[in-house]
Every structure is written in structure tokens, then in C-alpha cells.
Amino acid sequence: MHNTVFVPGYNSADVWSGFRVGRRPSVIALNESFNTIDYKHDGYFKLFKFQHRRTVVCETDEIIIGDELEGVSVCDGAYTGLHFHPDAQVTLLENEILVRACNMRIIVEGGSAELSSYDYCIGFHKTVSSQKIRIKFNRNKIKLIIRFSDG
């Protein structure tokens, strides 16, 4: 489980038998600067004819994460995910995610979010239940605006 774009039933690389990897996506750096990283990969291009582009911009008071499916106007079923620590205390409002443990607010643009649970690994064959957010693409772009408050 990763905090990235996912298409159910498919992987951006050829993976089998746990962690064995065959074909890997090609990753292209578009911009690396003081407060911005911008990359894309072609892991889904063979099947769905799009490249996943992720841009992360760190500002003084917020972090902006942009995911774009370049080459298509929409990809049915594609979503981006956020997996949280079991202590996070996540609440989902209509287009906002509140994380009480760290006074974080995430504003969702371009997607519809749903809250569910997953098994968080705390050791070898030891898991506890935690929360994750799946954000389904409405079209081909999702933007997450992350803000922290003092209390």
C-alpha cells in the first residue's frame, strides 16, 4: 500500500511473488527546486495510455500535492490514496480531511473521497486497524492542499 495513484487490479510495474519486479516504469524528473519536486512515470501507459505526474510544492503555510493522469481526460476507477497511522484520528467531511493527532486539514480538489480501514503493520505478522482515504479522480487531476494549525 502506497500513497500514490492506483488503478484497481493493475500495478504500475510487473510485480509477482511478493516483491519480485519485472518491467519497471520509467521515471522522468521535470523539476527539482528549493520547494518543488515534479516527476512523472509511464507505468500505466501500456494499459491505459496515460502517464502519472505528481507535483509537490512546499510553501510556508501549506503543502500542495497534485496528481495528473497525462494523456487522458478520465480513467475510470483510478484513485490516489492516503494511509494514516493508527493514532491519527481521521475525519472525512465533504471535501476535507481532518487529522486531529497533528492538527492537519487536507482540502481535496478534483476528486471524491471515501474513508475506510486497512491493516497497519506494526511488526512481523502483527497488524492493527488504521484508516485510509481513497480519492477517486473526477476527471484527470486531483489536488490536495495540506495545512497545519497550532491547535
pLDDT score for 18: 66
Cα separation of 134 and 112, whole Å? 8
Give, as one character, the DSSP assignment of residue 46. H
Q: Report the CATH architecture of 5-148.
A: Distorted Sandwich (2.70)
Nearest-CA neighbor of 92 among 74, 77, 75, 111?
A: 111
Beta bridge partners, 96, equal 107
List the 126-137 sheet strands across, edge first.
5-6, 79-83, 126-137, 111-123
The pTM (predicted TM-score) of the whole model is 0.87
Cα separation of 54 and 67, whole Å? 5
- 17-59, pLDDT tens digit by residue? 666 777 777 888 899 999 999 999 988 888 888 888 999 999 9
pLDDT score for 72: 84
Name which of 14-23, 98-107, 111-120 the model is least confident about.
14-23
Question: What average pLDDT does this structure show over 65-75?
Answer: 89
**How high is the mean pLDDT of the chain?**
89
Is residue 129 pLDDT above 90, yes or no? yes
CB 12 within 8 A of CB 1: no
Percent of the chain with pLDDT over 70: 96
Task: Kindly indicate the confidence band of residue 77, based on its pLDDT and cuts at 50, 70 and 90.
Answer: confident
Nearest-CA neighbor of 8 among 108, 110, 76, 83?
A: 76
Is residue 126 pLDDT above 80, yes or no? yes
Q: Which residues contact 14 (CB under 8 A, 6 or more apart)?
A: 21, 22, 23, 24
